[in-house]
Amino acid sequence: MPESLTKSEPIDVAMSADSNTELSQLSIVPPPPSTLRLDLDHTAIFLDVDGTLLDIAPTPLEVRVPQHLSLALERLSARMGGAIAFITGRPVAEIDRIFHPLRMPAAGGHGAEIRLTPKDNIHRSRIATLDDELREDLTRIGELDSGIIVEDKGFSLAIHYRQAPQFGREVMEHIVHICRSERCESLEVLPGKLVVEIKPSGYDKGTGLRELMSNPPFAGRRPIFIGDDVTDNAAFAVLPDFNGIGISVGGPVPGASYNFDHPQDVRLWLERLSRQDDRERR
């Protein structure tokens, strides 16, 4: 599989004058991940998980974390003073289970949960979760077919139809019917890759990234966010406020300046980045 980091939109990605990175060259010639250099002392990295860092599995519980990825994340976290975090739609506790024993800072539940350091408590949004009656009605959509999986994330509900793609239109029609009149006026319906997620408005991955960037060890650094889906758009949208860089996975998206072809390309880049100083000392 080729290592592909392709450019989708021109932006000025020059770092500070004293930076020893080659990022400023990306606006002219997009190099492969092996040549992408970062000043790790002044950079923060934020990673979506499903479809970005990990390959999408038939069901949410079937995702797997390659051992070399955990090692690379651990090395990068140590090298960057902890300024690397997950920004995901999954609850933070679920991310801990998936990546166990690795724990990292995280914005979970699309920004509904924040953990600034691995040892901190999880701070949860005070915004109300889905109404119980609405949650029950949406859950019934899973009765359309055994291949439709309804994932209750606490702060949101995700309806996966990856194993029954022929029901995509019907799933959306049922959601529209359930959310008639003012019933869902304070909610967001986010279509993704063979999944639709319903969540309260008032927080998203953008508010999660902003909260992390307002606190140590992220404050004052330049953020890089990598994501792959519609739910990541909110995070891409706030990057200009921090002179940040957006990288998409699987194709160009608004707010992303570069694109990795596949999650395995992201993992390879992170692994090489985690060994950047080792190579320089040789």
- DSSP string for 144-166: G-TT-EEEE-SS-EEEE-TT-GG
What are the start and end residues of each CATH 3.40.50.1000 domain in the chain? 40-124+203-281
pLDDT at 278: 55
Q: Which of 12, 18, 41, 48 is catalytic?
A: 48
Q: What's residue 251's pLDDT?
A: 83
Tokens linked to 124: 């949860």
Q: Is 48 a catalytic residue?
A: yes
CATH topology of domain 132-200: Alpha-Beta Plaits (3.30.70)
Q: What is the DSSP letter of 122?
A: P
- CA separation for the pair 104, 116 (Å, rounded): 8
pLDDT means per 10 residues in the chain (282 residues)? 37 32 35 59 96 89 92 96 96 95 95 94 83 89 93 88 92 88 78 88 93 97 93 95 92 85 92 76 42
Q: In this predicted structure, what is the pLDDT of residue 59?
A: 82
CA distance 277 to 274: 8
| Residues 230, 236: Cα–Cα separation, whole Å | 10
Q: Could you read off the pLDDT of 155-209 as tens digits, one per residue?
A: 888 999 999 999 999 999 999 888 876 677 788 888 888 989 898 888 899 999 9
C-alpha separations of 151 from 39, 59, 195, 222, 279 in Å: 39, 9, 10, 34, 43
Q: At residue 182, what is the residue type?
A: E
CA distances for 48 relative to 69, 92, 158, 255, 275, angstroms: 14, 12, 16, 15, 21
Contacts of 14 (CB under 8 A, 6+ apart): 23, 24, 27
Residues near 165 by Cβ (< 8 Å), separated by ≥ 6?
194
**pTM of the predicted structure, to 2 decimals:** 0.81
Domain 40-124+203-281: CATH architecture, name and number where available: 3-Layer(aba) Sandwich (3.40)
**Helix, strand and coil percent figures for the chain, each rounded to 5:** 35, 20, 45
